[in-house]
Amino acid sequence: MKGLTTDMTATPAVVQRRRGAALEDAIRAAAYAELSEVGYLAFSVEAVAERARTGKASIYRRWPTKQELVLDSLCSALPTPSMCGLELELTDDVSTVDALRQVARAIAGIMSSPAGDAMRAVKCEAFSDPELARTVDERFQAPRRAALIALLQRGVERGEVRPEAATELVADVLPAMLAHRVILMREQVTEQDIMSIIDEVVIPLVSVR
């Protein structure tokens, strides 16, 4: 018919199928987005598969359980210890107190971000799931704890921290106080809050006596 033309040479659109690392990255991103939006309890592999435009079988081959998928996606998205200010190369003019204030600001900022919302979802569920709590500690908290202990040990070598304070228990105090404020009480941590936590709690706890 006049006025109608057909392009017989047109090439149909080809859908690129992701494989390997590209597919795994897409699944992690989809899982993180799902976790951030709906939380841990409502999280489903089916929804992740739909977001990532892949099949459930492709996910289960890589992550046999929901828990493994959640933690892997969370750990890949959350800031590393160095991004938290825990693995910086500090110059000699930076005191332990100054370094701890930097760390507190970084942690508070992260906890108040979408990454903090995702972490809150997992931590709240971990209260009733010992295995999940243990895995969260091994995958997320342990590396950051070790980096904070190293920071305290640096303070010991500088004569600013008593040797008995460079321990796991003491290293957990600052992150725990910030997490309590942001994750459990849902409060914004101000600069004054950080100064008070450092000056009234952390310094008396670690200072040479």
pLDDT in tens, 190-200: 999 999 999 99
Q: With a threshold of 0.85, does the pTM exceed it?
A: no
Instruction: Report the alpha-carbon distance of residue 28 to residue 73 in Å, rounded.
Output: 5
- Contact indicator for 133, 127 with CB cutoff of 8 Å: yes
Instruction: Report the alpha-carbon distance of residue 196 to residue 100 in Å, rounded.
Output: 12
Q: How many Å separate Cα 27 from the centre of its chain?
A: 17
CATH number belonging to the domain at 20-77, selected among 3.30.70.270, 1.10.10.60, 3.40.50.920, 3.40.50.10470 = 1.10.10.60
Residue 83 pLDDT greater than 70, yes or no: no
How sure is the predictor about 84, in pLDDT bands with cuts at 50, 70 and 90?
A: low
The DSSP symbol for 41 reads: T
Q: Which residues of 76-99 are buried (b: 16+ CB within 10 A; e: fewer)?
A: ebbbebeebbbbbeeeeeeebbeb
- Contact indicator for 19, 40 with CB cutoff of 8 Å: no
Helices (H), 137-190: 142-157, 168-171, 173-179
Q: What's the one-letter identity of residue 100?
A: L
Question: What is the per-residue pLDDT for 133?
Answer: 78
CATH 1.10.357, applies to 96-206: yes
Q: How do the domains of the chain map onto residue ranges? A: 20-77, 96-206
How sure is the predictor about 5, in pLDDT bands with cuts at 50, 70 and 90?
A: very low
Sign of the C-alpha dihedral computed for residues 80, 54, 122 and 167 taken in this order: negative
Greater pLDDT, 87 or 121: 121
- Contact indicator for 159, 95 with CB cutoff of 8 Å: no
How sure is the predictor about 6, in pLDDT bands with cuts at 50, 70 and 90?
A: very low
- Least confident span in 9-18, 33-42, 71-80: 9-18
Greater pLDDT, 3 or 147: 147
Instruction: Report the alpha-carbon distance of residue 70 to residue 56 in Å, rounded.
Output: 14
How sure is the predictor about 101, in pLDDT bands with cuts at 50, 70 and 90?
A: very high
